Amino acid sequence: MKTHMIMALFTAMALFQTLSGQSNSEDHYVGTFSNSQSGLVLSMDKAADGTYQGFFQLQGQQYAFSKGTKLLGMINAEYQYNGQAFAFSLSRLIGEYYVTSEGVSIPVVKTANQPVAATKSTANTGNSSKTNTATSPTTISSGTGTKATTTAPAATGTRIADPYIGYSFQTPAAWNSQEQGGGFVLSKVGTQVSMSVSPHEYKTLAEMRAQVLDANDPASNTYLKAQTKEYGSNGLFIRFDGTAQGKAVVIEMISLLSPNGGGVTVAATGVKDQYGAEYTTLIKSMANSVQFSKPQTSSLAEQWKQKIKGKRLDYYYTGNGMADHYIIHICSEGTFVYKNDNSYSSNNAYTDFSYASAGADAGKWQVVAKGAQPTLILRFNDGRVWEFPMSPGKAGNEILLNGKRYFVQAGTMCQ
């Protein structure tokens, strides 16, 4: 529901209660309110003069307010950040509470009938000579088109680098990393949440945003709702909520653009009841640590690149009375299409290269030299990444990919 519709509904309900003479001696607005997904906590108390006071807390930062007043059944107040005032309201509609600030409303749950005490070391009233480490007020946001706060503690683990793609990042302390699928997978003993860092090929934020879609797959009982927010000046914060194969899950990711083209995505995935705000903070700390560099090239990688560029690689397999023929079309502009010959004979659509190159069995290719080992990397459009160590074959028109013989020949379907 749009924000202006929510606010209109709040006002209508408040006016109805006023006109009908409904009253209640209990003050529903005194207490502690929270939203578990965003980590928002609102503590509200009533002062002796009848006004409301308290603080917001989000990701370790607290923002104090006072002199809140009740108008049309809503509490209206202002919280302070570095001397600036930001308006917000707390509303109650048919037993449900909502916090609204800067045109965005999010639901909160009343978790206690008493307010909680502020932590003096982190409270920010805007009058202290010491300012906290946040560079901008924490954004209360929900849905597409808002900005996500980039504030997070610095990661303190090991710095991991992929010089061939051109990026490095800092891992969180106590998390182990393993190179896998063209990127890195992170894990920690005792947690069921997994994190990863992987490169992408997007050129613009608009191109990236266009690919963020809800997932609705009855066959696998997967239904995920997508939310997108801007992250700094060169990234997007993306969150998926829903079910995957029948399990309630949360997927969060931050995709950043590199000034050298492409970029990286930092992601975390977990079962919803085990996924807390601390994991949002962790992926932000990693994303904030990302450093981009110009991708390294080598004469060895360039030699192998020229050997397969614009060619088709054919692999034949015979066994158990069956024969298969797999083909990788290595296109000069950096794309590839992977199919077997049965696919072509049964589906005329794949004779159209523009159609095939957009499919799941297509993507971008790259040759890198990992030490003295040339490696072909295929990054599929559906997220798969295949890596093939390369070596010479017995004949001049053969190469070995991961030890298997492929014939290098003309006749690629690239245009």
Q: How does residue 100 score in pLDDT terms, banded at 50, 70 and 90?
A: confident
Q: Which residues contact 310 (CB under 8 A, 6 or more apart)?
A: 330, 331, 332, 412, 414
Bridge-based pairing of strands 123-124 and 61-71 is parallel
pLDDT of residue 153 exceeding 60, the answer is: yes
- 57 C-beta neighbours (distance < 10 Å), count: 22
Closest of 158, 168, 203 to residue 292, by C-alpha: 168
Q: Which of 218, 192, 272 is nearest to 240 (CA)?
A: 272
Alpha carbons within 13 angstroms on the beta-carbon side of residue 21 total 0
Looking at every residue in the chain, the average pLDDT score rounds to 78
pLDDT band at 13 (very low <50, low <70, confident <90, very high): very low
User: Which residues have CB under 8 Å from 286's CB, separation 6+?
Assistant: 155, 169, 170, 171, 172, 195, 197, 266
Q: What is the rounded CA–CA span in Å between residue 59 and residue 138?
A: 9
- pLDDT tens digit string along 214-239? 888 888 888 989 999 999 989 999 99
How far apart are alpha carbons 92 and 70 in whole angstroms?
A: 12
**Predicted pLDDT at 160:** 93
Distance CA 120, CA 394 (A): 73
Nearest Cα to 156, choosing from 176, 174, 177, 173?
173
Tokens encoding 50: 């009848």
Q: Are 106 and 38 in contact (CB under 8 A)?
A: yes
Which pLDDT score, from 0 to 100, does residue 84 have?
Answer: 66
Higher pLDDT, 94 or 125: 94
- The pLDDT value given to residue 304: 93
pLDDT digits (tens, 9 = 90+) for 306-342: 999 999 999 988 776 677 788 999 998 888 988 876 5
pLDDT, greater one: 349 or 254: 254
Angle of CA points 304, 306, 309, to nearest 5°: 105
> Within 13 Å, how many C-alpha atoms sit on residue 18's CB side?
11
- Kindly compute the dihedral angle of the four CA atoms of residues 207, 290, 294, 387, in this order, to the nearest 10 degrees: -80
Please report the pLDDT score of residue 353 as a whole number.
Answer: 52
- Predicted pLDDT of residue 155: 87
Q: What is the 3-state secondary structure (H, E, C) of the chain?
A: CCHHHHHHHHHHHHHHHHHCCCCCCCCCCCEEEEECCCCEEEEEEECCCCCEEEEEEECCEEEEEEEEEEECCEEEEEEEECCEEEEEEEEEECCEEEEEECCEEEEEEEEECCCCCCCCCCEECCCCCCCCCCCCCCCCCCCCCEEECCCCCCCCCCEEEECCCCEEEECCCCCEEEEECCEEEEECCCCCCEEEEEEECCCCHHHHHHCCCCEEEHHHCEEEEEEEEEECCCEEEEEEEEEECCEEEEEEEEEEECCCCCEEEEEEEEEHHHCCHHHHHHHHHHHHHCEECCCCCCHHHHHHHHHHCCCEEEEEEEECCEEEEEEEEECCCCEEEEEEHHHHHHCHHHHCHHHHCCCCCEEEEEEEEECCEEEEEEEECCCCEEEEEEEECCCCCEEEECCEEEEEECCCCCC
